[in-house]
Amino acid sequence: MEKIRCLIVGGGPAGYTAAIYAARANLSPVLYEGIQPGGQLTTTTDIENFPGFGEGIGGQALMDAMRFQAERLGADLRHGTVTDADLSSRPFRLTVDAGTQILAETLIIATGATARYLGLESEEKFKGMGVSACATCDGFFYRNRKVAVVGGGDTACEEAAYLSNICEKVYMIVRRDVLRASQAMQKKVLETPNIEILWNCNTQEVLGDLSGVTGARLRRKDGEVFDIAVDGFFLAIGHHPNSEVFSKWVDTDSNGYIMTDGKSSRTNVEGVFAAGDVQDPSYRQAVTAAASGCVAALDAERFLNS
C-alpha cells in the first residue's frame, strides 16, 4: 500500500498553498483535488481582493497559477476524491474514489465548503435546468431574461449585482426585512435599478415545465402567496463545510466546521491538520484560505520533524 508523508485533501487555495509549502519543505506532498479542482474560486469571475493582482485576476486563472506553482515545486497533484478515512492510528488509512487505499503519515484536510440549497423537491427537479448555486457560472444563460437570487448576504448581493449586468431584471428573495450583507454591498444592490428586493419572502416552490424554470411561488411573512416569472433561480444562502468524511474522527462545531487549536491548524487528532473553508466559518476568503494552507503545511512539517 502506498505510504505518503504528507497527504493533502482538496484542490482549492488552501490545498494548493499547503502543497507549495510542503513541497518546498521536502515533504513529498500528494494532493487529491476532489470533484472540483480549483475549488469554489473556479466559479467566480474577477477577484479584485487577492493581493498582488492590481488589476484583478480571474478565479480560474488564479487557481491555475496556484496549481502550476504547486506542481512545479514537486507536489504530486492527483484527480480523485477521498471517500473514507480511518484516523484511529498513524499512519492514517484513506480510501480514494471508494477503491484505492493509501496510508498517510500526516493529513491536511482542505476540502472547502459547498453551496447550500433550500431543500425543496421542485428545486432539486430543476437543478441544471434553471436552478443554480453559481451566478457567475450560469448567469450567461439568462442574458436579457428575468432571474431570482435567494439570500441576503454578501454572496447574494454580489451575485445579484453580477446578474444585473446580464439580465433584464433580478429579484432578490430575502427572508427578513434586512440584508445581512456588508454596507457596501447593500448600497450597491439598493442603487441598482433592475434589482428588486422582495423582503420577508420565502420560496414555497420553484415553478417550471419541460423547458426548465418558469417562476417561483413565494410566501410573504404576512401570509400572502404570489408568483414571480423568472427563467433562472439562483441560490446564495451560504455553504456547508465538506467535513463529513472526517467528522467521525476530528472535532467539528455544530455546523460541521472542523475545530482547530488556537491559531494553528492542528485538529484533535495528532498529525491531522485542517485548512481553508472547511475550518473557517468566519472569513472564507481566498487569501485567508491560502494563508491557512501555509499554516497547515508548516504545522505538518514541524510535526514530522519533532
Q: The C-alpha cell of 59 is what?
A: 478565479
Residue 167 is a catalytic residue: no
Counted residue by residue, the chain has a size of 306
Which residues neighbour 34 within 8 Å (Cβ) at sequence distance 6 or greater? 9, 10, 11, 80, 81, 82, 111, 112
Using the minimum distance from each CB to ligand NDP, give the nearer residue, 27 or 237. Answer: 237
Which residues neighbour 68 within 8 Å (Cβ) at sequence distance 6 or greater? none
- For residue 107, give the nearest of 260, 271, 253, 268 by alpha carbon: 271
Residue among 46, 64, 76, 137 flagged as catalytic: 137
Burial 95-113 (b: 16+ CB within 10 A, else e): bbeeeeebebbbbbbbbbb
CB of 33: closest distance to ligand NDP in angstroms? 23
CB of 182: closest distance to ligand NDP in angstroms? 6
Binding mask 231-270 for ligand NDP (x = CB under 6 A): -----xxx--------------------------------
The runs of H, that is alpha helices, within the chain are 13-24, 59-72, 121-125, 135-138, 154-164, 183-190, 286-305
Judged by CB under 6 A, the residue of 79, 125, 176, 248 near ligand NDP is 176
Residue 138 is a catalytic residue: yes
Using the minimum distance from each CB to ligand NDP, give the nearer residue, 118 or 294. Answer: 118
CB of 72: closest distance to ligand NDP in angstroms? 29
Binding flag, residue 67, ligand NDP (CB under 6 A): no
Residue among 46, 64, 76, 134 flagged as catalytic: 134
- Judged by the rule CB under 6 A, the positions of this chain that interact with ligand NDP are 118, 150-156, 158, 175-176, 180, 236-238, 284
